[in-house]
Amino acid sequence: MTARVPPRPDLGALEGYHSPQLDVSVRLNTNESPYAPPREFVERWLAEVSAADLNRYPDRSARALRDGLGKYLGQPAERIFCANGSNEVLQTLLLAYGGPGRSVVTFEPTYALHSHIARITGTAVVSGERTDTFEIDADAARSLVADVDPVIVFVCSPNNPTGTVESGSTIDALLDATRGLVVVDEAYGEFAPDSALGRVGDDGRLVVVRTYSKVWSMAAVRLGFAVAPPWVVEQLQHVVLPYHLSVPTQEAGRVALEWVDEMVDRVDRLVAERERVMAALRDLDGITAFDSGANFVLFRVHGSGRALWERLVARGVLVRDCSGWPRLAECLRVTIGTPNENDEFLDAIRSTIGEVAT
Summarize pLDDT for 151-202 with one digit per residue, the tens: 999 999 999 999 999 999 999 999 999 999 999 999 999 999 999 999 999 9
User: Which structural domain, as residue segments, surrounds residue 282?
Assistant: 9-37+261-356
Q: For residue 20, is pLDDT > 80?
A: no
CA 356 to chain centre: 31
Q: What is the CATH number for 319?
A: 3.90.1150.10
- What percentage of the chain carries pLDDT values higher than 90? 93
Query: Of 258, 288, 312, which marks where a domain is finished?
Result: 258
Residue 174 lies in a domain: yes
DSSP track, 282-301: HTSTTEEEPP-SSSEEEEEE
Whole-model pTM: value is 0.95
Query: Of 241, 258, 275, which marks where a domain is finished?
Result: 258
Summarize pLDDT for 232-249 with one digit per residue, the tens: 999 999 999 999 999 999
Summarize pLDDT for 265-321 with one digit per residue, the tens: 999 999 999 999 999 999 999 999 999 999 999 999 999 999 999 999 999 999 999
Quick one: pLDDT band at residue 17, thresholds 50, 70, 90?
low
Are 159 and 224 members of one domain?
A: yes
Query: Of 258, 291, 306, which marks where a domain is finished?
Result: 258
- Region 328-349: mean pLDDT is 98
**Integer distance in angstroms from the first to the last C-alpha of the chain?**
56
> Which ranges of the chain would DSSP assign to H, the alpha helix?
39-51, 63-73, 85-97, 112-120, 138-148, 168-177, 230-239, 247-256, 260-282, 305-314, 339-356
Are 198 and 324 members of one domain?
A: no
> What residues contact residue 74 under an 8 Å CB cut-off, 6+ apart?
none
Quick one: pLDDT band at residue 10, thresholds 50, 70, 90?
confident
Are 230 and 116 members of one domain?
A: yes
Are 177 and 210 members of one domain?
A: yes
> What is the residue-averaged pLDDT of the chain?
95
Q: For residue 13, is pLDDT > 90?
A: no
- Identify which of 74, 107, 310 has the alpha carbon closest to the alpha carbon of residue 195: 74
